[in-house]
């Protein structure tokens, strides 16, 4: 019996399902377009920005103009430049934190669900303990303990999301470990590690992908909230939350200081949520095309 025969039955129409559902989902199409524009803006920020995001000038709190398309802040810094460079930081934090949480959480969930017994008991009691506290509270506590900075923010948000991925991975593993192809793999003497990561994990990817998509938007909001409270990255690193925090005292005099960074956060999070809804429907095996 070959490895291919032991793998869980792949969904032969998964790609066609993704294309078909995307063709019908206008919100997902718009979300992909908007998110792609922000990614392009982040990648080419050094060339698209009118100037350095931290360069100060005497042109303080000036309105929209050709020189400053989105105006300037109270220190004369170009708002468009700061938002574009902030896109780099916010998207990087959103993706990197979810990747770290995914790797750790999925590994814990796979081990707990597959082996069961005292291993499952120990892992899930930790997950339950973390589950009892809101993710943002955990992130605030960790940043308060270890200090601010880009690395500490990434670690704090990553640890706060581990329980979400662990629960999803464990629930899938509990059902998949009883499948016939897993029994056949055990009969042939395959190692537990191989069964977990070659035969079980690939067939649990659909809900994990959906969870990762949703978590990216929460991570971006989490970073923005931490930066707004002064618990995020360093003051010379522009992020959307920090831009909002810097301009909150002048919003009544310069509306653009709050509208544009807030709009950027809203559009990215909304786009990612639309994409997550599309993936949830497309990867749901109970749905038919």
CATH of the domain at 170: 1.10.3720.10
The yes-or-no verdict on residue 188 having pLDDT over 60 is yes
Q: How would residue 287 be classed by pLDDT, with cut points 50, 70 and 90?
A: low
Q: What is the pLDDT of residue 111?
A: 92
Strand partners, 72: 78
According to the model, what pLDDT value does residue 149 have?
A: 82
The residue behind tokens 């899938």 is 172
Per the model's pLDDT, the better-predicted residue between 165 and 4 turns out to be: 165
The pLDDT, as a whole number, for residue 165 is 93
Separation CA 80–CA 281 (nearest Å): 36
| pLDDT attached to residue 170 | 92
Give tens-digit pLDDT for 6-38: 444 444 456 677 778 888 888 989 999 999 999
User: Is the residue at 67 inside a domain?
Assistant: no
Phi-psi sector, 182: left (phi>0), alpha (psi -120 to 50), beta: alpha
69 falls within a domain: no
- pLDDT over 60 (residue 154): yes
- Give the burial class of 97: count Cβ atoms within 10 A of its Cβ; 0-12 exposed, 13-18 middle, 19 or more buried: buried
Residue 206 lies in a domain: yes
CA distance 192 to 198: 10
State the average pLDDT over residues 245-271.
87
Contacts of 95 (CB under 8 A, 6+ apart): 216
Query: Looking at residue 195, what is its pLDDT?
Result: 85
HEC per residue, 105-164: HHHHHHHHHHHCHHHHHHHHHHHHHHHCCCHHHHHHHHHHHHCCCHHHHHHHHHHHHHHH
> Out of 220-224, 247-251, 260-264, which region has the weakest mean confidence (pLDDT)?
247-251
> 2 pLDDT exceeds 60?
no
Angle between helices 256-282 and 14-24 (to 10 degrees): 130
In this predicted structure, the answer to whether residue 5 has a pLDDT above a threshold of 60 is no
Model confidence over 106-120: pLDDT tens digits?
Answer: 999 999 998 988 999
Which percentage of the chain shows pLDDT scores above 70? 93
Number of domains in the chain: 1
Mean pLDDT of all residues in 145-173: 88
Measured from the Cβ of residue 233, the count of other Cβ atoms closer than 10 Å reads: 24
Query: Bigger pLDDT: 182 or 9?
Result: 182
* pLDDT for the residue 10: 46
Rounded CA-CA distance 22/24 in Å is 5
Burial class (CB in 10 A: 0-12, 13-18, 19+), 44: exposed
pLDDT at residue 98, as a whole number: 93
Q: Is residue 245 part of a domain?
A: yes
pLDDT value, residue 34: 94
Residue 14's pLDDT is 63
Q: What is the domain range of residue 86?
A: 15-44+77-282
Q: Residue 250 has what DSSP assignment?
A: G
At 72 the three-state DSSP class reads strand
Asked whether residue 61 is domain-assigned, the answer is: no
The stretch 191-206 carries a mean pLDDT of 84
Q: Is 252 part of a structural domain of the chain?
A: yes
Does residue 25 lie in a domain region?
yes
Residue 141 lies in a domain: yes
Residue 209 has pLDDT above 70, yes or no: yes
């Amino acid at each position: 019996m070959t490895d291919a025969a032991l793998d869980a039955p792949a969904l032969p129409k998964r790609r066609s399902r993704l294309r078909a559902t995307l063709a019908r989902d206008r919100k997902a199409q718009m979300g992909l377009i908007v998110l792609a524009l922000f990614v392009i803006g982040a990648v080419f920020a050094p060339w698209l920005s009118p100037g350095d995001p931290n360069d100060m000038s005497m042109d303080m709190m000036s309105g929209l103009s050709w020189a400053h398309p989105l105006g300037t802040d109270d220190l004369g810094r170009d708002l468009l430049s700061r938002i574009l460079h902030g896109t780099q930081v916010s998207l990087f934090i959103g993706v990197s934190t979810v990747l770290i949480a995914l790797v750790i959480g999925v590994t814990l969930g796979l081990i707990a669900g597959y082996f069961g017994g005292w291993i499952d008991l120990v892992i899930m009691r930790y997950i339950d303990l973390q589950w009892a506290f809101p993710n943002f509270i955990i992130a605030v506590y960790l940043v308060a303990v270890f200090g601010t900075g880009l690395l500490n923010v990434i670690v704090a948000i990553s640890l706060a999301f581990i329980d979400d991925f662990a629960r999803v991975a464990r629930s899938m593993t509990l059902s998949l470990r009883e499948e016939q192809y897993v029994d056949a793999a055990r009969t042939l003497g395959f190692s537990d590690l191989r069964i977990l990561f070659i035969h079980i994990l690939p067939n649990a990817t659909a809900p994990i992908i959906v969870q990762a998509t949703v978590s990216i938007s929460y991570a971006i909001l989490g970073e923005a909230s931490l930066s707004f409270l002064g618990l995020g990255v360093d003051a010379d690193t522009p992020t959307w939350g920090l831009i909002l925090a810097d301009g909150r005292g002048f919003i009544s005099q310069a509306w653009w200081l709050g509208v544009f960074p807030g709009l950027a956060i809203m559009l990215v999070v909304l786009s990612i949520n639309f994409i997550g809804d599309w993936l949830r429907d497309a990867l749901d095996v109970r749905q038919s095309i």
